[in-house]
Structure 1
Amino acid sequence: MPAAASQRPAAPARPAPQDPPPPAVFLGVRHHSPACARLVAHVIRTLRPAFVLVEGPADMNDRLDELLLGHQLPVAVFSHYRDEQRVATSWTPLCDYSPEWIALREGRASGAEVRFVDLPAWHPALADRTDRCANRYADAEARYAEATRRLCERLGVDSADALWDGLFEVTEPDTDPEELRARLDAYFDLVRGDAEADAGDRAREAYMASWVRAALARAGDRPVLVVTGGFHQPALRALSAQPGAAAAPADWPAVPEPPSGALGGSFLVPYSFRQLDAFAGYQSGMPSPGYYQRLWETGPTAAGQGLLRAVTERLRARGIPLSTADLIAARSLSEGLARLRGHPYETRVDVLDGLAGALISDDLDRPLPWTTRGVLGAGTHPVVVEMVAACTGEAVGRLHPDTPLPPLVHDVAAHLARLGLADATAPVTLDLTKDGDLARSRTLHRLRVLGVPGFTRVSGPADGADPVFTEVWEPRPAAAAREAALIEAGAYGARLDEAAAALLGERVRAAGPEVGTLAGLLFDTVLCGAGPLCSELLETLAARVGRVGDLGPLGEALAAALGLWRHDRVFGVARDRLLGAVVGGAADRVFWLAEGLHGAPGADLAALRALASARDALRHAPDLLSTTPETAAEAAARISRDPRAPAALRGAAVGLRWSLGVPDEPGPMVRALAASAVDALGDWLTGLFALAREEVAHGTAAEEHSLIDVVDGVVSALPEADFLVGLPALRQAFAFFPPRERERIAERLLRRRGLRGSARSLLRTPADPLLLARARALEENVTRLLDRHGLGTAPITRTAPAATPETPR
């Protein structure tokens, strides 16, 4: 070799080719599936992954230690979000057999780093699942329902739940976990197919895939396990295998945060099997959590026997007959159905079908609930109700004592302790004229508005005009439910007054143009003492009452505002300027709408109440209205003469004039109505009495000729058939009089007939007067029918008894 050549540096050695990093292992699961939970535990123990990525809210990653404190399951991650445009709440429930829970627990135990990888539950991508019963695990089964339906037809089962049980939950005892995993992959690939996910799911899947790529970059030569709902598995596998995925940055994806000005967060809350059950409205997972808890703990044989025993105990506890022979028949049917359907053990549906076949002999007007999904409807057979309840179970979760709680929980505890309500066991009576009791009342009303159980109001003022100044509250033992409700209410604020005001404000915005809803919210707001919110609500009401086109809701708002404006010194809003604006605007609008109202026969009681409230506004707050008593009386005169106006409204117009001191002579109107349409007479009187009951009662008590005398004369002269037609409307009209005034009217009618007797007993008929009237009409119809056929005129002869010494002929 030449010297020069021997002195050249050696070429650098080429690096040995490295094996590609192990791919991610994707486990598609069904949420709350014992079979999937067992598979997850097996894969983690076998695979020993570096990372376990779990479908769940990524904003909980810094608090996984809190989640694994040692709670009594079920519990849920409650997530909330609120800004000026949107309010979102969501629950992520976990029970003993949830695959996600097993992934968290077993992943930690194996030394893996565990991460939630889904978008936070408040994120707009999940906005379509944020109603009251919404759940982040509610994957869009509707998009692959067709594939599931075809599988059900092919395998001869009624529902997707029965299909799942037969394929995965109740299988041969020696089924290889890898075989189960392959079957799950095939199932989810089939049911997802080429269905296009919606924009929300696409955003979620893209975000979860970014976590998978980051985990692969950080894992080195160790595997990554990804546990998500089966619907997402095919998409995640494809997204993670895209070119460049292996070179993805190792930094974890950023966790989205609420925008500036918005409030959001997550807390753990106790949950229950009742909340988890599909039959109670839960959108995802399996129904009958109590049964699946038994399946998880004891296996399929003991689970079926336990379900049979639970149903038996519930039926017998409620007095529903259940013999030993019935149980033997149910057991035989269940076993036979399992063999017929090819199940190695009895499934949940086998047991339920066997029980239904043995215990229900009635014809059912609807499918059995376990053949479908949804909430049990009214009229469900009582045996079916108890069977479903036995499947649900009674489990209620409990948080570990060291679990961090939102500030509202501590604020409420301090309030109740300071006010002496924390340990109340007897009814609490409050005098609202005393400052201390008023503070207690406001605290209890704020809890009521937030839906926090613990106290129930049994009496108290019903509106601002109610002359009641005491309230009675009864304590209700509901410690676990109260804690969960308080944690969820913490989404609205850290203090009780702040949270109640925020919730009421949300309801005000949600009410939109519904003025009647706002009227109810107004009194709730006053009871809670939500000062600034009350002003906001009153401004909203004042702006809207001038545009309302329906007398009923307008009258509700007017009555509520007028009662508070006149009387509410207890709650501090009497003579409020904004309340006055609501009263004036609503009353003016009532008079304007009433004059142009035309409609069908019958009495619109809501419209009559609106006119009565406008009359009261004229009487007690005339300075708030632009309408004067004179102009109101003139408008009423026009209404009373308008033939297109309903009879009840015309009667109310006459009553309005009478109550304003401008009486008309009602006698000719009564006679004219009775001659033209007797049913309209009752409607007319209903309107009259609604507006001028006190004036009519005063005339009845006097010795002078009264309206009641005119009505009595007209009604007494009616033919029997006309009287029966008009009787329901007449009864409705006289129902406006309280019992004492009805008794005075009865006394006057007895005197007119020269009769003596108790007017009070006359009002206490042994049966409904309408029923008596129908019975009399039936008798007359029978008599006419007999007369028509010559059977009713012959005298009835009786056979004389035989002569005896004691009975001469």
Structure 2
Amino acid sequence: MAGILREPQGNQVEERYCRAFDFSSSLLYFPVRHHSPACSVHLQKTISRYKPDIILIEGPSDADRLIPYIANAGSAPPFCIYYSYDDKEELISGEQEKYRAYYPFLEYSPEYIAIKMAAGLGIPAAFIDLPYAALLVNRKEETDTRYRYNEDTEYEVNSYSALAAKKAGFRTYAEFWEACYEIPGADMETGAFVRAMFYMASFMRMAEDTGKNEENAGISGDRLENLLRETCMAEHIAGAMKKYQKVLVVCGAFHVPGLMDILNVDAGGSGADSNGNGAAVSDLRGYDKNNTAVYLMPYTFAEMDGRKGYAAGMPFPAYYQEIWKQFAAGAGVSNTVFDNAALEFIIRTARFLRGKNPVSIPDEVNALGMAKSLASLRGKKAPGVYDLIDGVRSAFVKGDINQTVTAELDYLLRILSGLGAGKVASTSDTIVPPLVQNFRELCREFRIKTDTILQKEITLDILKKSGHYRKSQFFHQMSFLETGFCKRSSGPDYVTGASKNLVREIWTFRFSPQVETALIDQSVYGATIAEACGTIAARQFRDSMTAEEAGKLLIAAEVMGLESFYDTWRDEIDEVLDREGNFISAVSCLGSLRYLKNLETMLCSEPDAFLLPLIARCYRRGVDLMEAGRNTSGDDEQKTCESLRSLYALTVEEPTVCNPRLLADQVEAILNEGFCNSRFYGALLAIHEKQGRIDMAELAQRINARLVSSQEIPDEAASFIGGVFLLGRDALFAGQPILEEIDRVIARMDDDEFLTLLPNFRQAFTSFLPTETDRLGRMIAKLHGLFASDVVRTEIVSQEELSLGMRLDKLAAAAMDKWGIMQ
């Protein structure tokens, strides 16, 4: 380290280190890198030697009540402190967002070791950092709604640490850290290790130039955050020094110089007041503590991986879990520990690959040898995780070694990151949010076991059994919350309308710790499962929701059993309908409301009182937007016409709610305006006849006029006929006039025009039933003086001809196979 950490200020840093790590002082700082096994090894030695009266730990100061549960022998990391803040007071923005933070622990995290050892020694431990909510409301820059503790990249991007890693010849700071701290760390004397930590943090701090003497108004981003946090930690330290003789502070190494500046503690110090750097915590902007919640929840190794977005984490946490396991087992020196860890992961990878790829025992020996050789070339005492990865790549990968991802490396990287999750043993209500309590209560009510992780399947007959209906609502709620608890494998999809012919629902479900983890994550939205679903559903109104989306949301609320959802959000839903400017979306919403009415009739016999007025309102909005169909084109053309058909169908099925005259007047107005999309015009014309505004003779005349005007554009004629057939195909069977007009237009076409038009005409006839197509064919034949027998000729194939054809087919296949021709 001496060759890298060389600065003119070295003497000053040494003097400060001696004051910070003085075992004769009433205040001892232990600087850490979060989630470092080497730091934890020396922290254990420091605690045993110093014998503090209290251990102060970097962590949210309003989470102290969780410390006994963190120390509980039945809890197994990784787990995290889950923190939420509901900005009801609009202290952060006018959006009233719900903010969440995660403070994770691994078994080898120094903070976790400090808590466990404090419990073992019978001394208090306390968190001293600024509460998450206080940090949120006092930051000046935009704040994300999700946050993980120390979510920064200060080690990778800091000008000093990045340059140190580069000059030492390492690819990243993480590899530099492992080589200079993790691998040799356990063999170092504790004072030397802490000195190296202190020097690195001090020089990083000098390089960053925190500007701590500026006014708060002139500091932004990470600098302001560090100042706020360090001011809070300093006040807690000063308070503890007034009550205890020996205080041990465990915090990130980067913060130690800042804390010393604020406290200005001398070698035998008793903790002076703040020297004016930063505002006192009492001067910070306040907030309503009732809007915060703090719980303990299981976490996963993957979420702890520094490669996957957690900037404060070290890469490959499961690998370092194995390192810690080796230290805890008394493996001793680093050479043994890291050699054993490398061998363990090589064997596990080979065992996985053996059934797929030819990985032999010599390959395993070569992988370990290569890892050790690479470590030696890189100046390391033992192979680290990066040497291990390179060794496996060299010995196991049989193809192109330059491939970014291979089966061998993919599995190795996954197990180095970690596939497991932690657990929180205590079931005390004081550390479990009401949402999780409600989930457990509902599982007991529905006799769903949560003491097994085996997948179960259940069939629900919701129309016949009220208990099944309630259970279905519960499953729909859990699915809506995306907890991973259940999945509908069969049955009707009420929201999309798929499989509506089915009655029974089939659900698969499986309990796992991740289910409750997901629920804790959603606990900011309510105290019960239903309340959380309602809150999340209601939030969607903020995102410029369309009428189509609103209709689907109302169905989702119904199948989830969210009582009074519409009553609560009546104004917002009405506003969505009133501002809707898309005809297709408005009619889609109308279809959802119609389906919802039928669903409620089936389930409850009587639809909700709000539904019929809402259908009427949506119907009127759809009629108002029909005008836009005149200019429809492209992909929307068919959808617009189908929406028009749905609108008309409602006037037939629900004439008291959907006034037919309102639609009829709008249809007539559009038809009288002249220019109109051909397909849409045809659909309007069919509705006009069905509603009795014109008779069959006038319909035939109008069809003739449109066809004549479109004869120069065959596609227009076919599109028009398609619109007529969509709603009025029965008009063809009422008499010959309409059919004669269509036949006359086709007869005037030459072959090229007809072939161009044929695909569109075929599409126009797709709405006919087979019996209708047969009947229509007979009518056309009669129109040309023919009989069906003259047109339809059925070729009868004898049994001998069929057998000969099958034989020839087999001979041809054999010949093609012989000649290597793909069949």
When the two structures are superposed, what TM-score results if normalisation uses the length of structure 2?
0.73
The whole-number CA distance in structure 1 between the counterparts of 2:103 and 2:272 is: 33
The one of 344, 353, 376 aligned to 2:381: 344
2:346 matched to 1:308? yes
Q: Could you say which residue in structure 1 is the equivalent of 2:467? A: 436
CA contact (8 A) 1:75 1:397 kept: yes
Q: Could you say which residue in structure 2 is the equivalent of 1:371? A: none
Q: Which moved more, 1:742-751 or 1:323-332?
A: 742-751
Q: Could you say which residue in structure 2 is the equivalent of 1:113? A: 124
The one of 410, 421, 425 aligned to 1:400: 425
Shift in alpha-carbon separation, 1:440–1:339, aligned structure 2, 3 A: same
CA contact (8 A) 2:70 2:115 kept: no
CA contact (8 A) 1:603 1:683 kept: no
2:666 matched to 1:632? yes
CA contact (8 A) 1:542 1:578 kept: no
Q: Which moved more, 1:110-119 or 1:135-144?
A: 135-144
Q: Which moved more, 1:54-63 or 1:425-434?
A: 425-434
Q: Could you say which residue in structure 2 is the equivalent of 1:194? A: 209
CA contact (8 A) 2:714 2:753 kept: no
2:479 matched to 1:463? no
CA contact (8 A) 2:100 2:146 kept: no
The whole-number CA distance in structure 2 between the counterparts of 1:364 and 1:742 is: 62
Shift in alpha-carbon separation, 1:211–1:630, aligned structure 2, 3 A: same
2:323 matched to 1:295? yes
The whole-number CA distance in structure 1 between the counterparts of 2:159 and 2:478 is: 45
Identity over aligned residues, as a percent?
21
1:277-292 alignment to 2 at 5 Å?
277-278=305-306, 281-292=309-320
CA contact (8 A) 1:75 1:268 kept: yes
The whole-number CA distance in structure 2 between the counterparts of 1:748 and 1:332 is: 87
Shift in alpha-carbon separation, 1:316–1:432, aligned structure 2, 3 A: farther
2:86 matched to 1:82? yes
2:481 matched to 1:450? yes
- Alignment-mate amino acid for residue 40 of structure 1: L
Shift in Å, 1:542: 1.0
Q: Which moved more, 1:383-392 or 1:486-495?
A: 486-495
The whole-number CA distance in structure 1 between the counterparts of 2:789 and 2:750 is: 17
| Cα shift readout 1:260-308 (whole Å, capped 9, x = no counterpart) | 5954322222222233334555454023221111122123222222222
Shift in Å, 1:20: 14
Structure 2: 5+ residue stretches without partners: 1-21, 89-95, 211-219, 275-279, 327-336, 782-787, 796-823
When the two structures are superposed, what TM-score results if normalisation uses the length of structure 1?
0.74
- Alignment-mate amino acid for residue 155 of structure 1: A
- Alignment-mate amino acid for residue 479 of structure 2: R
Shift in alpha-carbon separation, 1:463–1:211, aligned structure 2, 3 A: same
Q: Could you say which residue in structure 1 is the equivalent of 2:333? A: none
1:118-517 alignment to 2 at 5 Å?
118-123=129-134, 125=136, 134-139=147-152, 141=154, 144=157, 147-171=160-184, 174-192=187-205, 193-195=208-210, 197-220=222-245, 222=246, 224-241=247-264, 246-248=271-273, 262-278=290-306, 281-298=309-326, 299-316=337-354, 319-324=356-361, 327=364, 330-357=367-394, 358-359=396-397, 361-362=399-400, 368=404, 381-401=406-426, 403-404=428-429, 405-422=432-449, 425-463=456-494, 470-505=503-538, 507-517=539-549
CA RMSD of aligned residues (A): 4.6
The whole-number CA distance in structure 1 between the counterparts of 2:749 and 2:359 is: 62
- Alignment-mate amino acid for residue 791 of structure 2: G
- Alignment-mate amino acid for residue 161 of structure 1: A
Where 2:482 maps in the other structure, the secondary structure is coil
- Alignment-mate amino acid for residue 72 of structure 2: L
Shift in alpha-carbon separation, 1:320–1:254, aligned structure 2, 3 A: farther
Q: Could you say which residue in structure 2 is the equivalent of 1:9? A: none
Where 2:251 maps in the other structure, the secondary structure is strand
- Alignment-mate amino acid for residue 189 of structure 2: D
Where 2:230 maps in the other structure, the secondary structure is helix
Where 2:148 maps in the other structure, the secondary structure is coil
| Cα shift readout 1:139-175 (whole Å, capped 9, x = no counterpart) | 3549945555444433343333323322322237632
Shift in Å, 1:77: 1.8
Shift in Å, 1:403: 4.2
Shift in alpha-carbon separation, 1:140–1:637, aligned structure 2, 3 A: farther
Shift in Å, 1:25: 3.5
The whole-number CA distance in structure 2 between the counterparts of 1:157 and 1:735 is: 68
Q: Which moved more, 1:200-209 or 1:718-727?
A: 718-727
Q: Could you say which residue in structure 1 is the equivalent of 2:816? A: none
Q: Which moved more, 1:62-71 or 1:592-601?
A: 592-601
The whole-number CA distance in structure 1 between the counterparts of 2:416 and 2:773 is: 55
Query: Alignment length, in residue pairs?
Result: 712
Shift in Å, 1:501: 3.0
CA contact (8 A) 2:79 2:299 kept: yes
The one of 540, 563, 569 aligned to 1:531: 563
The whole-number CA distance in structure 2 between the counterparts of 1:349 and 1:736 is: 65
Shift in Å, 1:526: 1.0
Shift in alpha-carbon separation, 1:293–1:434, aligned structure 2, 3 A: same
Shift in Å, 1:69: 1.3
The whole-number CA distance in structure 2 between the counterparts of 1:533 and 1:589 is: 22
The whole-number CA distance in structure 2 between the counterparts of 1:226 and 1:712 is: 96
| Cα shift readout 1:396-447 (whole Å, capped 9, x = no counterpart) | 2222255443344443333333334448944222233433222222222222
CA contact (8 A) 2:134 2:287 kept: no
The whole-number CA distance in structure 1 between the counterparts of 2:231 and 2:628 is: 59
CA contact (8 A) 1:431 1:471 kept: yes
The whole-number CA distance in structure 2 between the counterparts of 1:482 and 1:710 is: 63
Q: Which moved more, 1:607-616 or 1:89-98?
A: 607-616
Structure 1: 5+ residue stretches without partners: 1-18, 369-379, 759-809
Q: Could you say which residue in structure 1 is the equivalent of 2:334? A: none
2:61 matched to 1:58? yes
